[in-house]
Structure 1
Amino acid sequence: MKKKKIVIVGGGAAGFFCAANLDENKYYVTILEQNSDVLQKVKISGGGRCNVSHACFDPRELVQFYPRGNKELLSVFHQFQSGDTMGWFEERGVPLKIENDNRIFPESNSSQTIIDTMVNEVRRKNFEVKTQTVVSEIAKVEETYVVKTSTGEYAADFVVFATGSSPKSLKLIKNLGHQIVEAVPSLFTFNIKNDTLKDLMGTSFMHAEVSIPKLKMEESGPMLITHWGLSGPAILKISAWKARELAALKYQFDIHVNFLGIDLEDAETIFKNFREENPKKTIGKSKIFDVTTRFWHRILWLSKVDLEKNISSISSKELQIILGNLYNNVMKVSGKSTYKDEFVTAGGVELKEINFKNMSSKILENFYLAGEVLNIDAVTGGFNFQACWSEGWIIAQDLNGK
């Protein structure tokens, strides 16, 4: 039987995982990657450790982490989910581990292990990987596709389009007839200039609550003060779920932050109990709430309360000001910064135009799409990669069955 040709446009997670699962006896496969290295996002993910996936093994639960694509991914995850990802890598001698927050990493703590496994699999199959190859056009010529690039033309019986969501890629796919939902950033940190945060970079809060009244959005979880403002899961979740609304606001809005993650009554009770038990302590040396000493001193400074003041002489008015700064601190957000581990966008190819049984295009014959080029994205924690692995695997199974 004559081997057919597959061209995979994009050497990222989805494209490479698809190639790693294709049958080398049936196909000649060429991966075209515009950068000098493949799998670049995999390399930097999780601070260089690669957050491969997330320990959520029920597809119905797993889809809840995807602001866009949750309905469509249900059938995808029924075919290949996080447990299957763990199995795939373990079969190839790469054990993965589940950390306390349910994120999945390689036991080696190195993204290179994940990259090497996929690259070796593709090499073993004698598939071709062309880096620094920019695709300029894809044209349908009778039964085949011609993929035009900076290094020549490639003929393909099948195309797998897994480019990510760069404007150039979206334009290519639009020219082929697909509808595009305009891409906007998702998973970003909030830029805030506020005295509460100044010079406190690295300070974290385990159970913060953040709300944006304008969007009727609330989120809770760990939060981190950065050089630019606020980050951490609580912020990143909001940025994912409200990506389009925040873009419409041009990233200018007010947020209400509860650094303690408890309600006002509980905070008052904790303070009063501490005061009764430690009446001789100064307010500055009182470890009342689960915050760092530096942050506590900043709150007292903002509240215009002297650090040396005895805790028993704090007036009820002063207490309300202190608690207000801790429990309902209103800040102006004026812009966003990229979350460095996972630059993700909301937007891409309209999902109605994809057959999610096999990730094929409903518009183009013998054409598949996967990864971030689709209007699918997730919160942080390994979910975006899991969608890539699942989609890539499904495409490979469909092609192997042809």
Structure 2
Amino acid sequence: MRPKKVVVIGGGAAGFFGAISCARFNSEAEITLLEKSNKFLSKVKVSGGGRCNVTNGCFDINLLLKGYPRGGKALKYTFQQFSVKDTIGWFESRGAELKQEEDGRIFPQSDNSQTIIDCLIREARVMGVKLMEGFGTKSIRKNETGGFSIQLFGGELLYCDEILIATGGNPNQESYQWLKDLGHEIKEPVPSLFTFNVPDSPFRDLQGISVPLAKVRVRGSKLEETGPILITHWGLSGPAILRLSAWGARELAKEQYRFIAHVNWISGNEESLRSTLSEIKLLHPKKTVIGHPFFNLPRRLWERICELSDISTGLKWVDMSKKNMNKLLENLLRSEFGVKGKTTFKEEFVTCGGVSLDSIDIHTMESKSCPGLYFAGEVLDIDGITGGYNFQAAWSTGFVAGKSIAEK
């Protein structure tokens, strides 16, 4: 019997992991991995600011699933097959030592994404996977006699028994047409994990200032997130902003990324803040308001909030009028930002949407409409918040798809 021929389309995290998994469970299989660009694992390279956020240190699957705005329920079985613990063990057993930071994110000890890239490429070669850069797929045809024909843009024609699609996400609907033609439902793709552009922000000259625990919400919606917020020269960023953009990906796209965001810089409520401000006024009557920051806010941010509250430089707490106090309270709790657009986060992009999970068997990652065709990674309608969630989904879906192909 001739060996099984497998083609993996997409040289990213999910593609590599799927190819390696397939080779592990079927050492006789002939596996070819195609990457249309001239660089394997390019997204791994830039992720985490060039450090590669490999996964998240959440070992409880039910808690981990809460990090996925889309696809979380379907991923439960997948994570049972290949978990966060498995990911850590896999890389470390192959010489890529990892470390966990306080916020749960896991990176290579080297703080260099090249460590992860080298590990994956080395393992693929050891397992006999044929790696082909610069080979884009033009079309796929299901053969009447079984298997597939793959037409490449360079004119080459490949034949195989099974295919793993791991082409990643793309915000353009047209890029999924070839998969739609094969009978798959496509959920409209829109960007996720983006920062907010605020061209008229009164805080834009405070770029680089961050607040560790703030709350942001979108006016007129239920979208709200709490966590670190970073002021940038173009608007707002930081984990709270990115998480909100993920959960609100479709809603914000419908608004064409034009909406009002309110930031609560101290993550407190109005009643307690009003009481605290009154107490400060009693305890520190002779102190100038601007000159003595409270609530652990950065000095420059506190000064700007005071300026926006019409508090003059020499005004003391004892002289604070009710009007000044109300304005200060309002700006601490509900600083208003007119968002007009978005910006990709650190050259990374994540797509909400893609191949519907209704189109595949989540237990094997095989297509329901086109047997022998499998999917893994962000090409599916699966996406997570920032913090290693998207890579964990890539490793796990890649593992399950590769194993399923090998054992079919």
- TM-score, normalised via structure 2 length: 0.95
What are the residue-to-residue correspondences of 1:329-348 with 2, within 5 Å? 329-340=335-346, 342-348=348-354
Tell me what 2:233 maps to.
227
Q: Which amino acid aligns with 1:382?
A: G
Secondary structure of the residue aligned to 2:205 is coil
Pair 1:309 & 2:315 matched? yes
Tell me what 1:164 maps to.
168
Tell me what 1:20 maps to.
20
Shift of 1:57: 1.2
Q: 1:163, 1:169 within 8 Å by CA — same for their partners in 2?
A: no
Mapped partners of 1:372, 1:53: distance in 2: 15
Aligned match for 2:148, one of 121, 128, 145? 145
Pair 1:9 & 2:13 matched? no
Tell me what 2:35 maps to.
33
Of all paired residues, the percent bearing the same amino acid is 44
Tell me what 1:241 maps to.
247
Tell me what 1:323 maps to.
329
Mapped partners of 1:307, 1:246: distance in 2: 39
Shift of 1:224: 0.9
My pick for the range that moved more, 277-286 or 139-148, is 277-286
Aligned match for 1:86, one of 85, 88, 95? 88
Shift of 1:385: 0.5
Q: Is there any run of 5+ residues in structure 2 with no aligned partner, and where?
A: none
Following TM superposition, the consecutive aligned residue runs of length 4 or more in structure 1 with deviations greater than 4 angstroms are: none
Tell me what 1:56 maps to.
58
Q: 1:96, 1:106 within 8 Å by CA — same for their partners in 2?
A: yes
Mapped partners of 1:191, 1:71: distance in 2: 32
Give CA deviations for 1:255-306 in whole Å, capped at 9, x if unaligned: 2211111112322333333333333222221121221111111112211211
Q: 1:342, 1:380 within 8 Å by CA — same for their partners in 2?
A: no
Mapped partners of 2:66, 2:5: distance in 1: 37
What are the residue-to-residue correspondences of 1:152-231 with 2, within 5 Å? 152-166=156-170, 167=172, 169-231=175-237
Mapped partners of 1:341, 1:65: distance in 2: 21
Give CA deviations for 1:3-52 in whole Å, capped at 9, x if unaligned: 11111000001001111222263211111111111111111111111000
Aligned match for 1:280, one of 280, 286, 294? 286
Give the aligned length.
402
Secondary structure of the residue aligned to 2:70 is coil
Give CA deviations for 1:298-340 in whole Å, capped at 9, x if unaligned: 1122112112222221112211111111111222211111112
Tell me what 1:289 maps to.
295
Shift of 1:125: 2.2
Aligned match for 1:254, one of 260, 278, 289? 260
My pick for the range that moved more, 131-140 or 160-169, is 160-169
Shift of 1:400: 2.6
Tell me what 2:124 maps to.
122
Root-mean-square deviation (CA), in Å?
Answer: 1.5
Tell me what 1:131 maps to.
133
Mapped partners of 2:225, 2:168: distance in 1: 28
Q: Which amino acid aligns with 1:146?
A: S
Give CA deviations for 1:63-105 in whole Å, capped at 9, x if unaligned: 1111111111111111111111001011112221111000111
Give CA deviations for 1:207-238 in whole Å, capped at 9, x if unaligned: 11111232222211111111211111111111
Secondary structure of the residue aligned to 2:220 is helix
My pick for the range that moved more, 215-224 or 355-364, is 215-224
Q: Which amino acid aligns with 1:304?
A: D
Mapped partners of 2:83, 2:313: distance in 1: 53
Pair 1:381 & 2:387 matched? yes
Mapped partners of 2:60, 2:130: distance in 1: 36
Mapped partners of 1:70, 1:59: distance in 2: 10
Shift of 1:169: 4.1
Q: 1:7, 1:158 within 8 Å by CA — same for their partners in 2?
A: yes
Mapped partners of 2:263, 2:27: distance in 1: 58
Q: Which amino acid aligns with 2:358?
A: K
Q: Is there any run of 5+ residues in structure 1 with no aligned partner, and where?
A: none
Q: 2:376, 2:397 within 8 Å by CA — same for their partners in 1?
A: yes
Pair 1:400 & 2:406 matched? yes
My pick for the range that moved more, 36-45 or 309-318, is 309-318
My pick for the range that moved more, 299-308 or 20-29, is 20-29
My pick for the range that moved more, 67-76 or 259-268, is 259-268
Tell me what 2:272 maps to.
266
My pick for the range that moved more, 154-163 or 20-29, is 20-29
Shift of 1:357: 0.6
Q: Which amino acid aligns with 1:264?
A: E
Secondary structure of the residue aligned to 1:245 is helix
Mapped partners of 2:367, 2:17: distance in 1: 19
Tell me what 1:43 maps to.
45
Mapped partners of 2:21, 2:187: distance in 1: 29
